[in-house]
Amino acid sequence: MSHLTIIIVSIIFLSPLAFAVTAESDTPTAYSLLQSYNFPVGILPKGVVAYDLDTTTGKFHAYFNNSCSFSLVGSYQLNYKSTISGYISENKLKKLTGVKVKVLFLWLNIVEVIRNGDEMEFSVGITSANFAIQEFLESPQCGCGFECKDSKLGSFAGRNTPFVSSS
């Protein structure tokens, strides 16, 4: 399913949040801010407690109380540090820090996330993987990720490994 996608998405989303200047009640959440840049909320895990955003440069930080890890169904593990940062613009997250995906036995930084129509492209620098945007309609939860309701584990053995197979 949506392993990589989830990971990437989460990373991206954490970041975009704060029009610190607006009145309290009008301050968008990190998740609604993500949507305003045309990203699905599912790239950002639940639990963002604060964020800041420089709307002129797109530079952002997003904060969680703790680091956040979860597995995508049958495949990738994702890890978000308690602070993530990057630059957001419409359809593009770049220079991401704090988000990692485990591919085979390596933890790789997800450095860029691009929305291209109905697809989300996650780049770890040396390679990238595409996922359908439908995989990211909801934010994953730390711990159980996208599978908090049905706790089926599936097989963890290399089910989908888009990062490995894509060029």
Q: Is-contact 6 86, C-beta < 8 A?
A: no
Minimum CB distance to ligand NAG, residue 83 (Å): 14
Rounded Cα gap, residues 53 and 59, in angstroms: 6
CA gap 12, 98 in Å, rounded:
10
Six token digits for residue 55: 């709307």
**In the set 22, 32, 57, 65, which binds ligand NAG (CB under 6 A)?**
65
Q: Please, what is the minimum distance in Å from the beta carbon of residue 65 to ligand NAG?
A: 4
Closest CA to 145 of 86, 40, 74: 74
**CB 133, CB 63: distance < 8 Å:** no
- Cβ nearer to ligand NAG, comparing 49 with 132: 49
The residue among 49 and 137 lying less far from ligand NAG, judged by its C-beta, is 49
CB of 103 vs ligand NAG, minimal distance in Å = 28
Q: Please say which residue, 83 or 127, places its beta carbon nearer to ligand NAG.
A: 83
Task: Provide the mask over 121-150, with x wherever binding to ligand NAG is found by CB under 6 A and - wherever it is not.
Answer: ------------------------------
Q: Is 67 in the site for ligand NAG (CB under 6 A)?
A: no
Helix (H, G, I), strand (E, B) or coil at 6: helix
Altogether, the residues listed in the chain come to a count of: 167
Site for ligand NAG in 34-63 (CB under 6 A): 47, 49
Could you tell me the smallest distance in angstroms from the CB atom of residue 35 to ligand NAG? Answer: 20
Contact between residue 136 and residue 5 where contact means Cβ atoms under 8 Å apart: yes
- What are 152's two structure tokens? 């089926």
Instruction: Quote the least distance from Cβ 165 to ligand NAG, whole Å.
Output: 36
Give residues in contact with ligand NAG (CB under 6 A).
47, 49, 65
